[in-house]
Amino acid sequence: MIQVGICDDEAGTLSKIEAFVKACYRENRFFAAVQGFDQGRALLYEIEDGARLALLLLDIETPGPDGMEIAARVKRLLPDVLIIFLTSHMEYALDAYELSVFRYIPKADFAERLSHVLLDAAKLIEVQRRDAYLIQNQNRLERIPLKNILYIVHEGKNALLVTDLLDAETGEKLCYKVRKTMQQVYRELGREEFLFIDRGCIVNLARIMSVRQAVLKYNGSFFCRVENGRFVATAMLFFDLEGPGTGMENTG
């Protein structure tokens, strides 16, 4: 199911876009849940409360937080969300370049262009979901994008997935516990960028910023120390380095 959020302060426009999105996905056999918001604050509260929206359609000019501010705040919480700006002011497009917006559509002719954009978004969301780790039990079903997993460690009878996704309340990195063995998780990941460095730790090679002897550096200031010389040698090869410390930052 594709979770879609639409935000526009004009009630008539919001209702029209909401009906259009529902009809488009229904006619093309995509299962979508569409929510409309007439205030940016209401949309942000929903996301901060745990809503995992995959697609957002935003009006740039809204009272309170405008579309640009909403997009920036949402991207911090949902880095993979696709954002479509529906606007009467295309001059804002350059200002929003850093937000990695999926598409810009003029409101004047949204009916002509929106269908194609919605279908492109749905196809991309399907690809994103295939590149995710599925956590499922009696209480929840959640997909964790593989690219957001930093490493996995053994913790009691659980495997703990440490990600770079942020908790809406604390701003800290989110961690997910699954009651599985490390071997089970490793098999389910099924990707060559994930590597066991010992029995109790799996790392995502694609997310390591640098390697210096037995220290791995992830994005920001996070470090992970390992005691496996074979792993360090493997990581060096992955980064196409010539030897320990080559091209690396001083982590001491």
DSSP string, 160-220: EEEEEEE-TTT-PEEEEEESS-HHHHHHHH--TTEEEEETTEEEEGGG--EEETTEEE-ST
Tens of pLDDT, residues 125-184: 888 878 888 887 666 678 888 888 988 988 888 999 989 888 877 878 888 999 899 999
When mean pLDDT is compared across 96-100, 203-207, 230-234, the lowest value belongs to: 230-234
pLDDT surpasses 60 at 27: yes
Q: What is the mean pLDDT of the chain?
A: 80
pTM of the model: 0.63
- Single-letter code of the amino acid located at 192: E
- Token pair belonging to 222: 């996070």
Of residues 121 and 225, more confidence is placed in 121
Name the band, by pLDDT with cuts 50, 70 and 90, for residue 111: confident
- Token pair belonging to 161: 């997935």
The DSSP secondary-structure symbol of 107 reads: G
Q: What confidence score (pLDDT) does residue 94 get?
A: 57
- Spatial distance between the Cα atoms of 206 and 149, rounded to a whole number of angstroms: 10
Looking only at the bridges linking them, the beta strands covering 215-217 and 223-225 are: antiparallel
Name the band, by pLDDT with cuts 50, 70 and 90, for residue 245: very low
State the DSSP string of 8-31.
Answer: -S-HHHHHHHHHHHHHHHHHTT--
End-to-end CA, the chain: 47
Name the band, by pLDDT with cuts 50, 70 and 90, for residue 106: confident
Looking only at the bridges linking them, the beta strands covering 215-217 and 210-212 are: antiparallel
Nearest to 42 by CA among 6, 10, 3: 6
Q: What confidence score (pLDDT) does residue 233 get?
A: 47
Q: What confidence score (pLDDT) does residue 92 get?
A: 60
Name the band, by pLDDT with cuts 50, 70 and 90, for residue 79: confident
- Cβ atoms of residues 149 and 204 within 8 Å: yes
- Cβ atoms of residues 131 and 194 within 8 Å: no
Of residues 96 and 117, more confidence is placed in 117
Name the band, by pLDDT with cuts 50, 70 and 90, for residue 217: low
| Alpha-helix residue ranges (DSSP H) falling in 28-175 | 40-48, 67-77, 110-130
